[in-house]
Amino acid sequence: MDSQDIQFATDLRTVITRLVKKLRKKSVTGQQFSLTERSTLSQLLQHGQLLPSELAAMEKITNQSMSQILNYFLEDGLIIRTASETDKRKVIISLTERGKQIITQVLSERDEWLSEAIKDTLSTEEKELISKAIGPMTKLVDYD
C-alpha cells in the first residue's frame, strides 16, 4: 500500500467515526445503552428471532457476554425468551413491544437528526454523491 491509500483510509475512518459518535449523541434514548446493546436490539428488530449464540456471533462477542446483555434486557422487559419448538434445549430471543418501541425510537431520533443535517448542509450534487457511495460503503462493512 502506498501513503495515499493509507491517508484515504485514515480520512474515511475519521469521518465515519465522527459521524457515528455524533449520531449516538443525537439519540437521547440510545444513550442509556452501550454500542453492543443498541446493536443487539437492532439485530433483533431486523431478524425478529435469534438464538443467543447467533447474536453473540453477529456482535463478535462471547456467548457469556451476550448472556449478560440478554439478562439485562430480560430484567428491563425488552426481550422474551421462548423455548425452541424443535430443540427444547435452545432458547429463542425476540423483542417485546417495549423493546421494539425503544429501538425504533433510537433509530428514529438518529434518522431525524441525520435527515435534518443532510437537508441543511448538503447540495443536491453532494446528496447524489453520498447516495452513490452507499453501495461501495456497504461492501466495506461486509468485508472480513
Q: How far apart are CA 106 and CA 32, in angstroms?
A: 10
Number of compact structural domains in the chain = 1
Q: What is the pLDDT of residue 144?
A: 82
Q: How far apart are CA 13 and CA 19, in angstroms?
A: 10
Q: How far apart are CA 108 and CA 127, in angstroms?
A: 20
Maximum CA pair distance of the chain?
55
CATH number at residue 31: 1.10.10.10
Residue of 39, 105, 47 whose CA lies nearest to 73: 39
Q: Among 8-12, 77-81, 139-143, whose mean pLDDT is lowest?
A: 139-143
Domain span at residue 133 reads 3-142
Q: What is the pLDDT of residue 98?
A: 97
Q: What is the pLDDT of residue 30?
A: 87
- What share of the chain in percent tops pLDDT 90? 83
pLDDT band at 31 (very low <50, low <70, confident <90, very high): confident
- Quote the pTM value: 0.80
Tell me the per-residue pLDDT of 87-127, one tens digit each, with 9 for 90 and over.
888 999 999 999 999 999 999 999 999 999 999 999 999 99
Can you read off the three cell numbers belonging to residue 130? 453520498
